Amino acid sequence: MKIDPQTIEQLNAINKKYIDAANNHDAAARAALYTEDAVFVTHSGPLYGRQAIEKFYADEFKAWHDKNFDRTIDPNSYRIIGTADNVAANGGWGFTAQAEGGEPFPIKGCWSAIHTREGDVWKICMLTWNITPAPAQTK
């Protein structure tokens, strides 16, 4: 089943809002893009629900002084999952990170998400990401 262009425009708009919320360090705006029961798989494990996701972002924004966040969508990645109300996509992300008192450094990775339509609005119902290249393992 082919994804209609209007759906792709709406998913691109979510991506733009996600980027804007990140660059404005607005945890509430970023979390609002998720369904109430969303799953967000982070580097420290999965989070369940919009409230937990908002807290994660708020804590991250306090700990890190990141800037220039960007997130791209691979235009070939759109896939309908089950019905036309569920669409998967993936892409890349990156920003300049800086911990309190530390030097800035670039960080980047890949992401994958499933979006679901709630009425006329698309929301993220599952998101996972990685950091690439992965840090070297230490023993």
Residue 38's domain spans which residues? 5-129
Contact 93, 129 (CB under 8 A): yes
Averaged pLDDT score across all residues of the chain: 92
Domain for residue 136, yes or no? Answer: no
Which of 82, 54, 69, 63 shows the shortest CA–CA distance to 111? 69
- Asked whether residue 102 is assigned to any structural domain, the reply reads yes
pLDDT-above-70 percentage for the chain = 95
Rounded to two decimals, what is the model's pTM?
A: 0.89
Residue 35 identity (one-letter amino acid): T
**Does residue 139 form part of some domain?**
no
Number of structural domains (the chain) is 1
Q: What is the pLDDT of residues 31-86, one digit of tens each?
A: 999 999 999 999 889 999 999 999 999 999 888 878 899 999 999 999 999 988 99
Residue 88, in any domain of the structure: yes
How high is the pLDDT of residue 136? 63
User: Averaged over 19-37, what is the pLDDT?
Assistant: 97
Q: Is residue 135 part of a domain?
A: no
- The 10s digit of each residue's pLDDT in 83-139 is 889 999 999 999 998 877 788 888 999 999 999 999 999 999 999 999 887 556 666
Reading the block at residue 69, the tokens are 């966040």
Establish if 67 belongs to a structural domain.
yes
The pLDDT value recorded for residue 134 is: 53
Task: Confirm whether 27 is domain-assigned.
Answer: yes
In a domain, 37, yes or no: yes
Residue 66: give its domain's CATH number: 3.10.450.50
Assess contact for 47 and 39: CB atoms under 8 A.
yes
- pLDDT for the residue numbered 50: 98
